[in-house]
Amino acid sequence: MRMSPLCIFSPRVLHPRGSHTAAVTFVPPCPPLDQEKVKELQRFISLSKRLLVMTGAGISTESGIPDYRSEKVGLYARTDRRPIQHVDFVRSAKIRQRYWARNFVGWPQFSSHQPNAAHLALSSWERLGKLYWLVTQNVDALHTKAGSLRLTELHGCMHRVLCLHCGEQTPRGVLQDRFQALNPTWGAEAHGVAPDGDVFLTEDQVQSFRVASCAKCGGPLKPDVVFFGDTVNHNKVDFVHMRVKRADALLVVGSSLQVYSGYKFILAAHEKKLPIAILNIGPTRSDQLACLKLDFRCAEILPLIAPH
């Protein structure tokens, strides 16, 4: 289940980025790195021959992308705003207008984010034969930018756009140009950033924004991601279950596992009696199932692990 060609990026030299500003803003407080815990994680990785890794929003906060649930710094802790629901987006042209206006403003910054040292470490594990498969719940394409190929994007990718009527796929960058052409004099300053390329705008700012439709059939457009309230494609779910069956260990990186679409694979791994390690700042839904739990920054500890 590799990424669609619409979400493939040109190879280039990438420098590990977990900018200190972004880290301070979006990474929750955590204890200093414990060398004994590093050794425990090293043992866990060394013993695995077919390592499955599942990542969540916590791996990308050090690249400057906020998450929903982190204590004190996540969207839920900072505001009373909640993410868009699938049913609302599909039913309401007004809600789609608001979504795309906000996404249009947020896209230049969101699309410019780069992988940090944690993404690059996992990519290197794959190249060296340690990482068997990578499943990400993120829609930011940072694993692809880091060079990961053995990858399933469980919730899709913001860099693709899908027509709700005919299914035509379009690169998100192409849509940005169309929005610009439709709104040559429209401008809005964001009042804050949210996960997944969203920003905060007032209703007055949004109401004059013109929304592009499908260039092929004129239908409404939606980012090729799973919104809250929607379900993951059954074929993709079956594919990931097969990866779980063939793995011999599971490492969770940067996820509280509160969303069932990811959590159910942890349950499947536990039922298969796979050893499970969790690297996440703060408690997760599966701490009691893990043989190892670490509360450190992903980009701080993963580069220290040698993928023997």
Mapped to the 3 state alphabet, what secondary structure does 224-241 carry?
A: EECCECCCCCHHHHHHHH
DSSP 295: -
Pick from 121, 123, 152, 124: which is nearest to 138 by CA?
Answer: 152
Q: Which amino acid is at 86?
A: H
User: Is 261 in contact with 137 (CB distance < 8 Å)?
Assistant: yes
Beta carbons within 10 angstroms of residue 199's beta carbon: 20
Catalytic hit among 155, 191, 241, 308: 155
Going by their DSSP bridges, the two strands 249-253 and 276-279 should be labelled as parallel
Locus of tokens 């190929």: 149
Pick from 138, 120, 150, 161: which is nearest to 239 by CA?
Answer: 150
**Catalytic residue status for 155:** yes
Strand order in the sheet with 169-171: 169-171, 156-163, 221-225
Active site residues: 155
